[in-house]
Amino acid sequence: MANYTAADIKALREQTGAGMLDVKKALDEADGDRAKATEILRVKGLKGVTKREGRSASNGLVTSKVEDGVGTLVEVNCETDFVAKGDKFQELAATVLAAAVELKAGDAETLMSSQYQGKAIKEILDEASATIGEKIEVRRVARVEGPKVVSYLHKTNPDLPAQIGVLFAYDGGDEQVGKDIAMHIAAFSPTVLTRDEVSAETVENERRIAEETAREEGKPEQALPKIVEGRVNGFFAENVLLEQKFAKDQKKQVKAVLSEAGAEAKGYARLRVGSSN
């Protein structure tokens, strides 16, 4: 019988982030030698990296850093929430964030094609995947610059790391208004900052749908232009940050809240684990 205890299993799981069954098998093979078992886990894990590539990594976390008017936000994914809340995975996410900051990466492709501290980012992820035993990937990276930048991380589950992350860049006003707008973005998920960023094709499609719907509802012909315009404005009010109703005061639009605070929005980014927005 292998010479190891429950404490050894617990320590090796915490050290590597690997599953209990994999840890016990490695300790059995290593006859209780933790250093050798760690090596076995790594070797076997690296062999399984390719097999894991097709698996879904829809759990994970978002983390951020703001420094000198530049905010960086990264989403790092894994397969299960058990791994997401583990120390090893969170340490890996901190390394990925540090790399993104140092490399000034604004997207995942740039980050993944780079090196950090003499090692390819992909290699860092593969090694982590090998010891943890799950598919791990950097899904998205965002970078926002402005006179002032604040970040907000939100936990959708108190037992898990942050699942929603926001960066908000602005000028003027105080830090509180920046934090308030960042929290609003987390809750209301706007798709653009201003209506000018909505493509003409999208607007035209919304007009067409609004008109067809109004006709289907039997609205009088002379009322159609006003109805269509109202519904298109409703689309903007739902999707455009500055035109959304403010989370903390639904009687005001976000742009009014900023104006009253003497602030101007410059840009934002929002990431939610496993979501496209």
Per-residue pLDDT of 9-52, as tens digits, reads 888 777 766 667 778 888 888 888 888 888 877 666 544 434 44
Q: How far does CA 225 lie from the centroid of its chain?
A: 40
Confidence at residue 45, expressed as pLDDT on a 0 to 100 scale:
59
If pLDDT is split at 50, 70 and 90, which confidence band does 276 have?
Answer: low
pTM of the model: 0.79
The H or E element containing residue 221 is none
Q: How far does CA 27 lie from the centroid of its chain?
A: 36
Higher pLDDT, 274 or 236: 236
β-sheet bridge partners, residue 115: 120
Higher pLDDT, 45 or 176: 176
Query: What value does the mean pLDDT take over residues 46-66?
Result: 69
Higher pLDDT, 259 or 53: 259
- Please determine, for residue 166, whether its predicted confidence score (pLDDT) is greater than 70: yes
Q: Please, are residues 174 and 257 in contact by the beta-carbon 8 Å criterion?
A: no
CA angle, residues 23, 29, 34, in degrees to nearest 5: 55
Query: What value does the mean pLDDT take over residues 213-241?
Result: 92
Domains of the chain: 6-52 (1.10.8.10), 59-193+259-272 (3.30.479.20)
If pLDDT is split at 50, 70 and 90, which confidence band does 128 have?
Answer: confident
Q: Please, are residues 170 and 261 in contact by the beta-carbon 8 Å criterion?
A: no
CA distances (Å), origin 43, targets 57, 121, 122: 22, 19, 17
**Which amino acid is residue 29, in one-letter code?**
E
If pLDDT is split at 50, 70 and 90, which confidence band does 101 have?
Answer: very high
Confidence at residue 68, expressed as pLDDT on a 0 to 100 scale:
94
- Please determine, for residue 179, whether its predicted confidence score (pLDDT) is greater than 90: yes
Confidence at residue 262, expressed as pLDDT on a 0 to 100 scale:
98
Confidence at residue 37, expressed as pLDDT on a 0 to 100 scale:
85
Query: What value does the mean pLDDT take over residues 123-152?
Result: 91
Confidence at residue 251, expressed as pLDDT on a 0 to 100 scale:
95
- Please determine, for residue 56, whether its predicted confidence score (pLDDT) is greater than 60: no
